[in-house]
Amino acid sequence: MKVGFLQTSPLFGKKDENVDNAMLQITRLDADLVVLPELFNTGYQFTSKEETLALAETVPDGQTTRALINLAKEKHLHLVAGLAERDNGRCYNSAVLVGPHGFIGCYRKLHLFYHEKQWFEPGNVGLNVFDIGQARVGIMICFDWFFPEVARYLAVKGADIICHPANLVLPYCPQAMVTRCIENGVFAITANRIGTEKRSEEALTFIGASQIIGTKGEIFYRASSDLDEAIIAEINPKFARDKQITPMNHLLNDRRLKFTIPVEERE
């Protein structure tokens, strides 16, 4: 299965330009599954709820999701892309999954990072795994990586590949995702952005380093910190179905869930 990512540098608010640029790059790829960054169409640094609402779109009938669906049909591939979603006057930091037969699903980011808490509601549609034929894919968005239960939950639900749109600013995630893959026996594709936005007092620089990681933590490819890149690697998603660590250790069945401590019981 040919899987990969686009690492882009969106211009804030220039949706047509950002979407057209991403579409053009995908058109040139030979791929089965491509992951795009978080908020790939709008840019990241919103400054008010009004601005967020104005740029956010409904799913699946908004213009960005429709453009993604058309391309997925034309190229016969699956796409996971981060965008600002509007629903009943509320905004979510979401990612859509589309394929050759159209819209498949949408994930709303659970763990909002920093000022995102001012513009978005936390996700309310849970974490889902989607069977796209060649693999089962789970979706999480950027800062969700900091909460290892997200990747674990997706793995327990049967994900072979974690698709991870991101707008990373802290440096830790690329290495942490290596561990997420080892401890869950899954592949992960992190699609990050590059560039700097300074739409308030604080400039945010995005770290790039998008990557494709294997079930044993192999770094099949890690991108630069400062270039737009479109990378595809060949993987065998079935490797993620083998959760045996040694002949006597299984990474899901060996868990001792009875002894994990719910947060309310902390001393």
User: Which of these ranges, 165-173, 188-196, 211-219, 231-239, lies near ligand ACM under the rule CB under 6 A?
Assistant: 165-173
Max Cα-Cα span within the chain: 56
Residue 168 lies near ligand ACM (rule: CB under 6 A): yes
Question: Does a cis peptide bond (omega within 30 degrees of 0) precede residue 60?
Answer: yes
- 142, 163, 173, 181: the catalytic one is 142
* Active site (annotated) includes residue 38: yes
Among 129, 137, 142, 161, binds ligand ACM (CB under 6 A): 142
* Active site (annotated) includes residue 142: yes
Instruction: Give me the phi and psi of 54, to 5 degrees please.
Output: -70, -35
Residue 84 lies near ligand ACM (rule: CB under 6 A): no
For the CA atoms of 42, 150, 5, 169, the dihedral, rounded to the nearest 10 degrees, stands at: 60
**What's the rounded Cα separation, in Å, for the pair 30 and 111?**
33
* Active site (annotated) includes residue 267: no
Least distance between ligand ACM and beta carbon 99 (Å)? 25
Q: Residue 181 in contact with residue 187, Cβ under 8 Å?
A: yes
Residue 167 lies near ligand ACM (rule: CB under 6 A): yes
Residue 18 lies near ligand ACM (rule: CB under 6 A): no
**What's the rounded Cα separation, in Å, for the pair 163 and 139?**
5
When the beta carbons of 1 and 142 are compared against ligand ACM, the nearer one is: 142
Least distance between ligand ACM and beta carbon 18 (Å)? 16
When the beta carbons of 69 and 169 are compared against ligand ACM, the nearer one is: 169
Residue 121 β-bridge partners: 92
Tell the residue number behind the tokens 């294997």, with chain if given: 214
Binding site residues, ligand ACM, CB under 6 A: 38, 113, 142-143, 167-169
Q: Provide the annotated active-site residues.
A: 38, 109, 142
